[in-house]
Amino acid sequence: MKILVTGGAGFIGSHTVVELLNNNYEVVIVDNFSNSKKEVLDSIKSITNKDFKFYEGDVCEKTLLDKIFEENKIDAVIHFAGYKAVGESVKKPLMYYRNNIDSTLSLCETMNKYNVKKLVFSSSATVYGSPKSLPIMEDFPLSTTNPYGSTKLYIEGILKDLAKSDDEWSIALLRYFNPIGAHSSGLIGENPNDIPNNLMPYIVKVANKELQCLSIFGNDYDTPDGTGVRDYIHVVDLALGHIKAIEKITKQSGVGAYNLGTGKGYSVLDLVNTFSKVNCVDVPYKIVDRRAGDIASCYADPSYAKEQLGWEAKKDIDEMCKDAWNFVKKNK
């Protein structure tokens, strides 16, 4: 099978491409490097000893998508391309709505045109908003607390309508929790182009002495230590979830949503202290005001993904922290 991966040079995308190649899929990547780097493509080849086709450009551009689909017999698509920072989305909502929804519409229209109707969509646990109970299950009410989450929720709605309109479509909506870590080789990992949007890149920058101190956004949440609790998942476990999703959508039509998480919640301080302990480094921190759009706690019930996809997370938080630091040390 030949899989088109939009945003395939990004953090989750690159790790998924590695697992696709390791599982003998053919891969075509499209990426505009808005939040990734060209060197990642060489790193993927070094890890896998396999090649793939690459197109540089924006998924919103239908002429580029036409070129890709005309030049390749695409069997299925994994759609990562999109802006992903909660805080930035609060400040720039129109940018998020325009890019994330437009890119998905352009992609789906092109897929329809070329009769490619198998899609894995990179969604997010933000579609659950501020959940009334934990752990979160796929049938919980959906709502959002920020524009980034809203784009994911609206796109899920678009894809559900698409599948309802045409029963040839087969779509997996993968609701990620909080991916961290890196490939064990240290060749690929989380390395954003601009100001980091997630916690782990800040932790490693402080450990690496690029930043003096980590800012923790709020310690007055209703959690064991007052800091936000999240379900952190190793990015390689997450990538393997996409392999299972591809297998699922090739066997049946319709649309399904699946939580990809560990089912365990760790606070910000848990993560900071674990990182310090397993890597023997100091991570000084200070408490600052809460961040707009954040919620107190969020962790998954991943049992449906295990039942339906045959997938479950294997790596623990120690390994996530070790691999994240190993990537930074190898790429200083």
Task: List, by residue number, the catalytic residues.
Answer: 148
Ramachandran sector of residue 186 (left: φ over 0; alpha: ψ -120 to 50; beta: rest): left
CA–CA distance, 77 with 64 (Å, rounded to integer): 15
Report the amino acid identity of residue 164: K
Contact 184, 326 (CB under 8 A): yes
All residues at 6 or more sequence positions from 317 whose CB lies less than 8 Å from its CB, including other chains: 232, 264, 266, 270, 271, 274
CA–CA distance, 241 with 211 (Å, rounded to integer): 33
Cα dihedral 24→29→33→36 (10° resolution): -10
Q: What is the DSSP string of 84-139?
A: --HHHHHH-HHHHIIIIIHHHHHHHHHHHHTT--EEEEEEEGGGB-S-SSSSB-TT
CA–CA distance, 173 with 159 (Å, rounded to integer): 9
| Beta bridge pairs of residue 99 | none
- The per-residue b/e assignment along 212-251, b for 16 or more CB within 10 angstroms, e otherwise, is eebebbbbebebeebbbbbbbbbbbbbbbbbbbbbebbee
All residues at 6 or more sequence positions from 244 whose CB lies less than 8 Å from its CB, including other chains: 305, 309, 310, 311
